[in-house]
Structure 1
Amino acid sequence: MKTNGILTFFIVLTVLSSCKQQTKLKSTPPPMKKKEVVYQVFTRLFGNTNATNKPWGTIEENGVGKFADFSDKALSEIKALGVTHVWYTGVPHHAVINDYTAYGISNDDPDVVKGRAGSPYAVKDYYNVNPDLAVDPANRLEEFKDLIQRTHQAGLKVIIDIVPNHVARNYEGMTNPEGVTDFGASDDTTKVYDVNNNFYYIPGKAFKVPEWQDGYLPLGGDENRLADSKFEENPAKWTGNGSRLAQPHFNDWYETVKINYGVRPDGTKDFEQLPEAYRQKNYKAHYEFWKDKTLPDSWYKFKNIAQYWLDFGVDGFRFDMAEMVPVEFWSYLNSNIKMKNPDAFLLAEVYNTSLYRDYIHQGKMDYLYDKVELYDSIKHIMKGYGWTDHIPVMQKGMADIEHHMLHFLENHDEQRIASPDFAGNAQLGKPAMVVSATISTSPTMVYFGQEVGEPGAEDAGFGSPTRTSIFDYIGVPHHQRWVNNKKFDGGQLSEEEKSLRDFYKRLLNFTINSEALMGEYQEIHFYNKDNTEGYDHRVLSYVRWSAQEKLIILSNFDEHKNYSFNFKVPKDVIAKWQLSDGEHPLTEELYGKVKKNMVIDNGQGQIQLELEPLQSYIFKVGN
């Protein structure tokens, strides 16, 4: 989930200057580690080979992928793409419109479920997994455990979602461990707020289903005995996005209810504040700070959930809408996670740039989405109206936290690059992907199907095309051509799609093996813009280096124009690299076909180059 795009835009405008004034702690990447690459896969869709794609289609009509579809072959191909972590999106048991009463699971009401397959961010049972994903729903936990083991055997690590801000309106834990009670089971529902209530209430008012708009009907109007514009909840609870209305708006997160972390309705907090000095302390100090304190009940519930999945074999978590939950809770949760597994991968969805450093330093997050800064900047360039000049400025402003800002060009919330509403052409993602993957020490994320140019054009039911649906049963056509009837060999891909996947494979494998990409960075874009004839704002350049590896990286974002110029490497870079005057051979690391020399004269490097449309170079400097 994410905030409204217009709201995010205004947040950026108002907080850019304040971000620069905050105390900045140096971002230091872990020593001796290489870049990490996360492959986000929508688990329900990955192995589905059904191509019917009927809007609002049932699981029988449109099909569904299973845990079992991630075979040894599939996982080895994901690994070979240059991936280190797989984020299995949509694993925890969320509300679905499918009858599993034979397995002791209650039916879900279409009036509080988005789509037919349901939102993965309306979790119904945190101690179990989505029954849709199992060949045998009675054996679903064991099937997921088998998937974790296969993933680990393939040399990959496992990430799943935790959604601390809200749960499904009909939350019902059927397989809770001993001693674990459901959210809200002990709440005093006569009060709007109590520190140990899990939810916020609207006493005296019953919940009302939103008024449907723009011709929308649950399940597309298909008959269902529960689709009657009624859902019993008395008293009504606050909705997941914070709406305090007993009848939330159609555009509210009406399928969810907000979790109470001890934040009173007026915004004041019912728990001890984390001292400012803890910004500079490690997770062990944070753990010690919280361990003897009495805390709101919801804190303990989510700590137990995280520890349950760590014990299950999960290696990390992606936290949905983390900024809607107090940073002190993250200090508590993440320090407990790290005490159990110091290498756990902790990724958070945060869009408010003024909160970045709080959630990293106080909340002890490993990584945040770099959506508002790098993603939005690159998207504007890809769409034709942005300038590359903004990227070095943005990167300078993020220098103190650059390692913690995970980069991506697609995820389940964003439009597909190939969608007409974004770039309309997957090839436009090539220079953007090079920059996204190489400009910093942070991890890179790729969304399944991105590497073959998936456009997200299907009308699945709930919501509009341009994003691959997360709410309905659907097939993903370009990706299905790679799946090739579960051979996972790309046998049905077009030559252009094969070439695009080969590009991603070359790039990602280079990044996870490069020492320089975990080393130093310096932009040389403005130096060339001022001193190199023919170089302009559609080109971007920078250098990366370590003691053993020196890289010069250039990307041409123009889809029509060739650039020819005598490219310059400034004297201060040459001095840092301790290179002498004369010729130095360059090896191009993406395709290895271009052989060039850099001529250093009087301490300045020069390379005669021609950049074709959408072409990038990653040059390694020889000794």
Structure 2
Amino acid sequence: MLGCLTLAACSQQQAHVKPTLLPQQAIPVDSHMPEKPVVYQVFTRLFGNTNTANIPWGSAAENGVGKFNDFTPKALQAIKTLGVTHMWYTGVLHHAVVLPESVNGITSDDPDVVKGRAGSPYAIKDYYNVNPDLAQDPQHRLQEFSQLITRTHQAGMKVVIDIVPNHVARNYHSISMPEGVTNFGENDDTSVTYARDNNFYYVTNEAFSVPLSSEYQPLGGQAHILADGQFNEYPAKWTGNGARAAQPDINDWYETVKVNYGVKPDGSYDFPTLPDDFAHKSTAEHYAFWQQHRLPSSWYKFREIVYFWLEQGVDGFRYDMAEMVPVEFWSFLNSSIKTKNPNAFLLAEVYNPTLYRPYIHQGKMDYLYDKVGFYDSLKALMQQTGSAKQVISAHRSVQDIAPHMLHFLENHDEQRIASPEFVGDAHMGKPAMVVSHLISQSPSMLYFGQTVGEDGSENAGFGQPSRTSIFDYVGVPAHQAWMNNGAFDGGMLSDEQRALRQFYEILMPLNKAPAVAHGQLGQVALQTASDIARQRVMAFTREHAQQQLLVVSNFDAKQNHTVTVKLPVSWQSREGLPVTDLLKAHANSQVDATGHITVTLAPRESVVYQKED
């Protein structure tokens, strides 16, 4: 998702989508889903940067920039110890970036239509190459990324990159296209607002004007030969979030332009819709359906793009703001991908819960963000304003599609746990990650720096601290301490940071445990006289023929809580049933003959008891 100047502005940016809504229990979850994935999201530009200057709006020379080569075999193996199955390399594609000068045919983008100095990774400038900042030799940057793909595969992990179908950079122009491919907009009829096979929408007979703001200046007011308040575009194009003015508002996604998929300006569709029963059809049947129709130009352009990256060895895609693109397009694109690679990993950013099931069943997405509902309720509990009951309720609301809903506590859009704006305490992530990771077969995601308590406090330039900047060149201090100048051994971590990392190293590989990867959520009864304990303590079991687990987490930031848990009948034993804490923090215990166990937890502490037969 693109950065906005205000959170309110981001929340207001919506688009027209028209899926067929399905009853909540209409379709069973696919019983052949792969084992529980763990995704490691890394902002590629920042990962290997050892520079600590952190000058606001600083250049790459001043603040440093990480490279593909920083992901050494040792670094990748250290990440793999967290149970990671998929590396999501964020910011790989060649996006708009402000360079001091043009080099070897790679031109600087205009600061007037770039957010930050290093640029938004979601304003793609060339879909057929990678960010020159990330290569030791920019002329051979694609080869260097190919080598990173190989190293990642050798480390036993898959590679995921972003695709941003809703919009492209305002100055999109590929210099790396394969033969026979044309640029977006190259064949558009710019005399009309809309035509089915135009790639963009146009504000006819008006030139684009850079948005005005009394509070914001490109590059923080620093001089640049192109920073003149002007950008040559005639006629003006609609802005990425759907703004239709020739001069967008400063809070619009003004650095991008909206891609046209055959959705007319009135919201009606200029392409076939899926028959109602296609929510039940296979990807092969979806693929066959679309071969019968001539479709808008932009559909084929994005198919060419994903095919190109599959051929480079990429194993999957994370789709930015997928809900702003028609579900029919996703049926077309994802069935095309699965025809090429049935095991491709497809993750989408969708924030509208009414669209979850259509985008999974009709759009053929593998996974969606479980933000609105699960993450939001978990965040409230971490902040001591929500309750355990609300988290369970949020999870149960998507229980029929739970294996498709990705869980996370941090990503590039969200505040760091350790930031004062979130909770100001990285250790509050411990009970939350236990619950998030173990409550279902849902895939889990870690954001780089999360495991060592990164707080996102750097003032990098564009945007506000609390989220590690994705727009500027910056060093990431806690992550740099773990990186230890390329040793990737945590040698510069404090004792507290090291202990936090060790906690994640114990917890995250539980994705391979039978009860976590394949088990079912079990109900327990929490017995306590304390109302606050009922609000702050979560307990559940994961049940599988090969393994049974009891999870109890105390979200209270200040108080110990003692609770008695009434377990299912299968946990009862005449002699008492021994249990072992897989987190290695608590002494072994036992369930009494009636199926009860009493646990005392310190603030922010959890146990994961395994039933021992």
TM over 0.5, yes or no? yes
Q: Distance in 2 between matches of 1:68 and 1:111?
A: 31
Counterpart residue type for residue 492 of structure 1: M
Residues 560-615 of structure 1: CA deviation (Å, up to 9, x unaligned): 1111233221xxx32xx3754431110111116521111132xxx11122111111
The answer to whether 1:584 aligns with 2:586 is no
Q: Distance in 2 between matches of 1:562 and 1:359?
A: 42
Q: Distance in 2 between matches of 1:614 and 1:456?
A: 21
Structure 1 unaligned regions, length at least 5: 13-17
Counterpart secondary structure, 1:507: helix
Q: Specify which of 609, 614, 620 is matched with residue 599 of structure 2.
A: 609
Contact 1:11 1:352 in 2 (8 A): no
Which residue does 1:42 correspond to in 2?
A: 43
Contact 1:114 1:462 in 2 (8 A): yes
Counterpart residue type for residue 116 of structure 1: R
Give the C-alpha shift of residue 533 in structure 1.
9.1
Q: Distance in 1 between matches of 2:587 and 2:121?
A: 46
Alignment of 1:116-135 (within 5 A): 116-135=117-136
Counterpart secondary structure, 1:103: coil
Q: Distance in 1 between matches of 2:452 and 2:375?
A: 20
Which residue does 1:196 correspond to in 2?
A: 197
The answer to whether 1:90 aligns with 2:103 is no
Alignment of 1:122-271 (within 5 A): 122-214=123-215, 216-271=216-271
Residues 232-264 of structure 1: CA deviation (Å, up to 9, x unaligned): 000000000000010000000000000000000
Choose 258-267 or 588-597, whichever is displaced more.
Answer: 588-597
Residues 174-220 of structure 1: CA deviation (Å, up to 9, x unaligned): 01001000000000000100000000001110000000232x21111
Which residue does 1:548 correspond to in 2?
A: 546
Which residue does 1:15 correspond to in 2?
A: none
Choose 384-393 or 489-498, whichever is displaced more.
Answer: 384-393
Counterpart residue type for residue 420 of structure 2: P
Contact 1:517 1:545 in 2 (8 A): no
Counterpart residue type for residue 148 of structure 1: I
Change (3 A) 1:534 1:296: closer
Which residue does 1:471 correspond to in 2?
A: 471
Alignment of 1:438-453 (within 5 A): 438-453=438-453
Change (3 A) 1:42 1:538: same
The answer to whether 1:107 aligns with 2:108 is yes
Which residue does 2:336 correspond to in 1?
A: 336
Change (3 A) 1:25 1:586: same
Change (3 A) 1:11 1:58: closer
Give the C-alpha shift of residue 478 in structure 1.
0.4
Residues 63-120 of structure 1: CA deviation (Å, up to 9, x unaligned): 0000000001101101112211100000010010115633212221000000000000
Give the C-alpha shift of residue 21 in structure 1.
5.2
Counterpart residue type for residue 220 of structure 1: G
Counterpart secondary structure, 2:535: coil
Change (3 A) 1:10 1:142: closer
Q: Distance in 2 between matches of 1:533 and 1:189?
A: 64
Contact 1:27 1:399 in 2 (8 A): no
Give the C-alpha shift of residue 516 in structure 1.
3.9
Choose 445-454 or 74-83, whichever is displaced more.
Answer: 74-83
Counterpart secondary structure, 2:593: strand
Structure 2 unaligned regions, length at least 5: 15-19
Counterpart residue type for residue 559 of structure 2: K
Contact 1:283 1:364 in 2 (8 A): yes
Q: Distance in 2 between matches of 1:393 and 1:519?
A: 19
Counterpart residue type for residue 566 of structure 1: T
Q: Distance in 2 between matches of 1:259 and 1:298?
A: 7
Which residue does 2:17 correspond to in 1?
A: none
Q: Distance in 2 between matches of 1:320 and 1:331?
A: 16
Q: Specify which of 564, 567, 577 is matched with residue 566 of structure 1.
A: 564
Which residue does 2:374 correspond to in 1?
A: 374
Counterpart secondary structure, 2:133: helix
Q: Distance in 2 between matches of 1:421 and 1:535?
A: 25
The answer to whether 1:528 aligns with 2:530 is no
Contact 1:392 1:523 in 2 (8 A): no
Contact 1:29 1:441 in 2 (8 A): no
The answer to whether 1:415 aligns with 2:405 is no
Change (3 A) 1:23 1:426: same
Residues 138-197 of structure 1: CA deviation (Å, up to 9, x unaligned): 000000000000000000110000000000000011010010000000000001000000
Counterpart residue type for residue 327 of structure 1: V
Contact 2:57 2:460 in 1 (8 A): yes
Q: Distance in 2 between matches of 1:506 and 1:115?
A: 37
Which residue does 1:618 correspond to in 2?
A: 608
Which residue does 1:292 correspond to in 2?
A: 292
Q: Distance in 2 between matches of 1:8 and 1:587?
A: 46
Which residue does 1:500 correspond to in 2?
A: 500
Contact 1:24 1:400 in 2 (8 A): no
| Identical-pair percentage | 56
Change (3 A) 1:100 1:38: farther
Residues 308-358 of structure 1: CA deviation (Å, up to 9, x unaligned): 000000000000000000000000000000111111000000001110101
Counterpart secondary structure, 1:232: coil
Contact 2:45 2:66 in 1 (8 A): yes
Residues 284-323 of structure 1: CA deviation (Å, up to 9, x unaligned): 1110111121000000000110010000000000000000
Choose 493-502 or 103-112, whichever is displaced more.
Answer: 103-112
Change (3 A) 1:8 1:403: farther
Which residue does 1:25 correspond to in 2?
A: 27
Counterpart residue type for residue 590 of structure 1: L
Alignment of 1:298-337 (within 5 A): 298-337=298-337
Change (3 A) 1:533 1:88: closer
Give the C-alpha shift of residue 519 in structure 1.
1.5
Counterpart secondary structure, 2:241: coil
Give the C-alpha shift of residue 514 in structure 1.
3.7
Change (3 A) 1:111 1:10: closer
Change (3 A) 1:109 1:10: closer
The answer to whether 1:76 aligns with 2:74 is no
Give the C-alpha shift of residue 122 in structure 1.
0.2
Contact 2:522 2:543 in 1 (8 A): no
Contact 1:64 1:132 in 2 (8 A): yes
Change (3 A) 1:308 1:20: closer
Q: Specify which of 575, 593, 608 is matched with residue 600 of structure 1.
A: 593
Give the C-alpha shift of residue 10 in structure 1.
9.9
Change (3 A) 1:101 1:565: closer
**Normalization by structure 1: what TM-score?**
0.94
Which residue does 2:62 correspond to in 1?
A: 61
Residues 466-519 of structure 1: CA deviation (Å, up to 9, x unaligned): 000000000000000011011111000000000000011110012233444422
Counterpart residue type for residue 102 of structure 1: V
Counterpart secondary structure, 1:427: helix
The answer to whether 1:395 aligns with 2:385 is no
Q: Distance in 2 between matches of 1:534 and 1:358?
A: 38
**Normalization by structure 2: what TM-score?**
0.96
Give the C-alpha shift of residue 282 in structure 1.
1.4
Counterpart secondary structure, 1:54: coil
Counterpart secondary structure, 2:381: helix
The answer to whether 1:425 aligns with 2:425 is yes
Contact 1:283 1:338 in 2 (8 A): yes
Q: How many residues align?
A: 606
Contact 1:307 1:337 in 2 (8 A): yes
